[in-house]
Structure 1
Amino acid sequence: MLTHRGFVAALIVRRSYGFVQERKELFLTRRQLRRNVCGMTWKTEKLPYAGILATIESDKNNNFYAELNESIETKWKDKYLSAWLRIPLAQAGLAAEASRLGFRMHHAPADGETLILYKWLSNDSEDKVPYYAPATQIGCAGFLVNKNREILVIKEWRIRSDGSRVPAHMWKLPGGLADPGENILQAAARETFEETGIKSHGISVLAFWHRHNVTPWEKSDLYFIVRLECIAAENQIQLCPSEIAAARWVKIDNYFNSNDEEFKHPLIRKICRELYTSTEPTSEMIDLGIQFPGRDLYPTYFPQHLTKLTQKILAVASDVDGTLLMKNAQLHPQNKIAILNTNIKFFPATGKCRAGARNSLDGIPITAGVFVNGLVVYDDNDSIIFERTLSKETVQIVQSICKGHEASNFFLVAYCRDCLFSPTPEASRVAELATFYKEPKPIMWPSNSQTISPNKLLILGEPQSLLDARPRIEQSLESYASITSAMSNMLEVLPLGASKRLGVQALCNHLGTCEHTQLLAIGDGENDIDMLRHAAIGVALENASPSVKRAADIIVNDNDSAGAARALGIASA
């Protein structure tokens, strides 16, 4: 299908391209006819997919409207899907007459001398003429391989000169033109679904061509072959009967070994032979999300062997707040789907306690993970495999610091695994940890502070007040603790030398996963920097600070645009 709605009708090349195929039998024979009635002169030619183009030459007796209406009703309507007019600019007034008969503006060719209008004639189907690409049109085909190592192929309808239709001779890939604002992976998946009823998502680019002088408007053409993966386990074909004559699954080996002319599409055979010697392609270009600073996000495709991947990604560690969660602290639905559908080991690496992470990631089973900024690490058996706590002396120093900043309204919270303590649990800023961030509700700090051994301390306050006070706090604690921050309204006090990354390293070692070659890490905060630097691939979200982005290999969409889901797609590529 060539359009955003379906197959290209009439004039515009529907990309029957049996790929680079330019066989003339794909197009109707062009005939030129000349009509000269009562001073009205035009030249007509038949176009692909049951279209008729009339080039206006003169209208000496002002009979254009009547002659055009007669041609539509008595000669074109029952034989063609669409009618097209090429009107000289000097006779542009005829466009107004044509509009009264339902013609619409399509484009003005680069010669600057003519206007092209069209009218969809069929009452039995919707108008499927695509948008006009001024210079270069972008098309995509879906290369979809199922679990049986079969590729999905189709045959389109071909329209004969008498208006009847027959199946095309050669099996090709489903595909068509990209819609405005649609990327090539999305376009290939959409076209495949519209033509075959099979839902998929784009993974990578396998090949593309660039050709020029494409019929009928002599435009340039970029056409991408996109590797797709099925979304559902069941892949029952439900073809679009108005556009597709047949669709089927064909064994990859059968396609490129067959001597049948139906299976000799040169580009498909090349991909089958060279790239699919096993169940996975040997070469492909994946979206690494590399961005020029300050520009809107856009896909960037690199050959996979040029990435840092030396082995297959086996695990994904992801921050939660600001990464999996949107700005409203809710889990993005696309992130949830991506996590539940991935075959890769996924675990959270977060400043939250485990109970808070489970509350925030409702619907996602969480056992193993890195919590409290790397200070409490659980395995899949619900056992703690790594833990660090602050010294009592450190706790006393931080208590004194907070008391000394009462005018700045600093509030203290202690994290003891899944229990939170605070001297002021009813303060709104402290209570917000439970109401907004979904942590367990903080309870009153025990009168004897010696009875608790916090993993970390959280200092809450106004962002600017914390920023101003941070150098003095770090100086006071330089021999006792490390300071980090995940959000501007929080400072986190950790045991000296501790970090989220050390917790991730401990869990990777426990899982038998190499952090440097088999882990993809996702984050947005200062406390994620070390984790991103040491992972095989570090992914920062667009909402991350500049220092976090500099530590990452890839930058993806922000947390309100499901950037983490995109990162999980990269891990699966």
Structure 2
Amino acid sequence: MIKAIFFDIDGTLVSFRTHRVPQSALDALEAVRRRGIRLFIATGRHYSDLNNIGSLTFDAYVTLNGQYCYDDRGVIYKNCIRKKDIAAVVSRLESDPFACMFIEEHRMYMNRMDERAREAQRLINFPDPDIRPARTALDADIYQLMPFVGQEHGEALMRELHHSRSTRWNPIFMDVVPEGGSKRVGIEAVLRAYGLDRNETMAFGDGQNDIEMLRHAAVGVAMGNAAEEVRRAADYVTASVDDDGVALALRHFGLI
């Protein structure tokens, strides 16, 4: 019996085309909540950037790909990148000045803006971040990095970060989190806090950073706009976010 559902945001609940949650999904989530099912967010976004889900509220939030989880009572779980890896990134940026987002608990900033970063900001409807020297990150706890680099460039960078892992849901940039960190780990922390079992869960996602989550949930649902590797990780593939995929899947499984 499904008692909890985890939703990715971008490309799952929210359309890349409209930057909004479709009305069909809003109605479906309201109907699911009336049945007593708990609703959770599982996103790569920072909590301060949950600016595209309108008035929707959730029981708890798994943010930064599982590195920072909270509800209205406070922080449930947090996990930051090792200082050695942050120092390696800062050192790399001194000779290879690509754009990189540094994400702390209560703020985000970039070392610079370039066209790749601007394109990503437009895609996910982010406001322009503060620009600060990369060395600012040496004195802070960093929960996630977002280097705005391509695949080959990213692979070279990751060979220097010995205690971190990366994932992508867009070719423009990647998310870097602590080794062993993922949405799955954050979800497990939330389930423990709420006394729930993963066999009672469903998860919706569309990106590479959703693969572990989809495999971990009792029922993993990939959106129709998901890449093939994400589809293969899911138990069920629904329609795209723009074609009412969330509502159709919830109806398919008899939850609405």
Same fold (TM over 0.5): yes
For the Cα contact (< 8 Å) 2:6–2:203, is it kept in 1?
yes
Partner of 1:331: 21
Secondary structure of the structure 2 residue equivalent to 1:320: coil
Give the distance between the partners of 1:422 and 1:571, measured in 2 at CA.
44
Tell me if 1:320 matches 2:9: yes
User: What is the 5 A alignment of 1:396-407?
Assistant: 396-406=87-97
User: What is the 5 A alignment of 1:336-415?
Assistant: 336-343=26-33, 344-357=37-50, 359-366=51-58, 368-381=60-73, 383-406=74-97, 410-415=98-103
Q: Of 215, 240, 247, which residue of structure 2 is paired with 1:558? A: 240
Secondary structure of the structure 1 residue equivalent to 2:66: coil
What's the % identity of the aligned pairs? 28
The offset of 1:390, in angstroms, is: 1.2
For the Cα contact (< 8 Å) 1:508–1:514, is it kept in 2?
yes
Give the distance between the partners of 1:317 and 1:355, measured in 2 at CA.
19
**Structure 2: where are the runs of 5+ without partners?**
none
Q: Of 183, 197, 216, which residue of structure 2 is paired with 1:500? A: 183
Give the distance between the partners of 2:22 and 2:237, measured in 1 at CA.
18
- TM-score computed with the length of structure 2 as normaliser: 0.89
For the Cα contact (< 8 Å) 2:87–2:138, is it kept in 1?
no
Partner of 1:514: 197
Give the distance between the partners of 2:63 and 2:43, measured in 1 at CA.
5
Partner of 1:443: 130
Secondary structure of the structure 1 residue equivalent to 2:102: strand
User: What is the 5 A alignment of 1:444-483?
Assistant: 444-445=131-132, 448-461=136-149, 466-477=150-161, 479-483=162-166
Q: Structure 1 448/380 Cα, relative in aligned 2: closer, same or farther at 3 Å?
A: closer
* Segments ≥4 residues shifted beyond 3 Å: 400-406, 426-436, 438-441, 446-449
The offset of 1:355, in angstroms, is: 2.2
Question: What CA deviation, in whole Å up to 9, does each residue of 1:169-228 have, x standing for no partner?
Answer: xxxxxxxxxxxxxxxxxxxxxxxxxxxxxxxxxxxxxxxxxxxxxxxxxxxxxxxxxxxx
Partner of 1:64: none
The offset of 1:314, in angstroms, is: 0.3
Question: What CA deviation, in whole Å up to 9, does each residue of 1:15-66 have, x standing for no partner?
Answer: xxxxxxxxxxxxxxxxxxxxxxxxxxxxxxxxxxxxxxxxxxxxxxxxxxxx
For the Cα contact (< 8 Å) 2:120–2:172, is it kept in 1?
no
For the Cα contact (< 8 Å) 1:420–1:441, is it kept in 2?
no
Secondary structure of the structure 1 residue equivalent to 2:180: coil
Instruction: Looking at secondary structure, tell me which structure has more helix per residue.
Output: 2
The offset of 1:335, in angstroms, is: 1.3
Secondary structure of the structure 2 residue equivalent to 1:317: strand
AA at the equivalent of 1:399: V
Secondary structure of the structure 2 residue equivalent to 1:468: helix
- TM-score computed with the length of structure 1 as normaliser: 0.41
Q: Of 539, 562, 569, which residue of structure 1 is paired with 2:221? A: 539
Q: Structure 1 571/450 Cα, relative in aligned 2: closer, same or farther at 3 Å?
A: farther
Give the distance between the partners of 1:403 and 1:571, measured in 2 at CA.
54
Secondary structure of the structure 2 residue equivalent to 1:476: coil
Give the distance between the partners of 2:224 and 2:26, measured in 1 at CA.
19
Query: What root-mean-square deviation, in Å, do the aligned CA atoms of Structure 1 and Structure 2 show?
Result: 2.1
**Structure 1: where are the runs of 5+ without partners?**
1-311
Give the distance between the partners of 2:136 and 2:15, measured in 1 at CA.
38
Q: Structure 1 487/396 Cα, relative in aligned 2: closer, same or farther at 3 Å?
A: same
Give the distance between the partners of 1:445 and 1:334, measured in 2 at CA.
41
User: What is the 5 A alignment of 1:86-485?
Assistant: 312-328=1-17, 329-343=19-33, 344-357=37-50, 359-366=51-58, 368-381=60-73, 383-406=74-97, 410-424=98-112, 426-427=113-114, 429-430=116-117, 436-439=123-126, 441-445=128-132, 448-461=136-149, 466-477=150-161, 479-485=162-168
Q: Structure 1 469/442 Cα, relative in aligned 2: closer, same or farther at 3 Å?
A: same
The offset of 1:444, in angstroms, is: 2.5
Comparing 439-448 and 328-337, the one that deviates more: 439-448
AA at the equivalent of 2:4: A
Who wins on radius of gyration, i.e. which is larger?
A: 1
